[in-house]
Amino acid sequence: MFYNQDQSNRNTYKSGFVAIVGRPNVGKSTLMNHVIGQKIAIMSDKPQTTRNKIHGVYTTDHSQIVFLDTPGIHKRKSKLGDYMNNVALNTLNEVEAVLFLVDVSAGLGGGDKYVIEQLKKVRTPVILVMNKIDQVHPEALPPLIAEYNELHEFAEIVPISALNGSNVNRLLDVLGGYLPEGPQYYPDDQITDHPEQFVVAELIREKILHLTREEIPHSIAVTIEDMRVQENGVVYISAVIFVERDSQKGIVIGKQGALLKEIGKLARQDIENLLGSKTFMELWVKVKKDWRNQDRILRDLGFRHE
């Protein structure tokens, strides 16, 4: 578990769960990381970066919101795609409110319309969150809002910039109105319910996404084989990077292991910031042919239908 530095014994009077949905690459993980104040969901300019439902916990003096950052809803091309869509859509029935995040700089597209059709099937209040307002002229927003309103009746519409935090506090205030009175689910200082190994594996995968191109990002999975604190206080990490083809293995390793070393170097920086400890990390690359379409391998890698 990971924790905020500020700890207290505040009581929480309202609590609830909020799902963040939208097509891939609209800034869902960026928004949750900004609200939580620490990186727990990886970010990339490549679609389908988020594969699992990430829980982020935001606690104040009077409320606690558990955010569920879901995989981007998209047209399915593999069993992994089926899994990702099922996770995103099943989440909508478990929450007090749904944040439908859209990228205003990209305009209203077919992907957004597809997500809206899915949202029409749920009774949960849907808040339209218009992200990336820092990238468009303010006069562009009213006509775009009108376009979205023609497709669905949203409970609220809140323009924001998740990257620089513009109007995010307003969004949090709006969400507070949808929280019922309830218990504090997590301690004040806990910011996610995922184990350390999960977040560490995701941070490694993030660096691979940044450093590779073409088909590699979607063919990558990362698992932590071993993670423990050694006698000298250094955290030892052994991680396996899975690819689907032998040619991909060579790309990830790079010439004389150069790319793999760079992946480890960049990941280690984020991991040490997160853990607050020095780390020693070993990375291995293995081939699991066509793993995205094999149920057993998907289960072994942690992708389970809910």
* Annotated binding-site positions for GTP: 22-29, 69-73, 131-134
Q: How many helices (H) and strands (E) does the chain have?
A: 9, 11
Annotated binding site: 22-29, 69-73, 131-134
Residue 124 and residue 92 in contact, taking contact as beta carbons nearer than 8 Å? yes
For 62: left if phi > 0, alpha if psi spans -120 to 50, otherwise beta; the answer is alpha
Q: Which of 210, 199, 195, 198 is nearest to 274 (CA)?
A: 199
Residue 65: strand pairing partners: 16, 58
Residue 74 sits at φ, ψ, to 5 deg, of -155, 170
User: Which tokens sit at 266?
Assistant: 């960049």
Residue 154 and residue 128 in contact, taking contact as beta carbons nearer than 8 Å? yes
Residue 116 sits at φ, ψ, to 5 deg, of -60, -40
Residue 160 sits at φ, ψ, to 5 deg, of -145, 170
3-class secondary structure, 133: helix
- HEC-encoded secondary structure of 22-41: CCCCCCHHHHHHHHHCCCCC
| Residues 27, 35: Cα–Cα separation, whole Å | 12
| Residues 171, 108: Cα–Cα separation, whole Å | 21
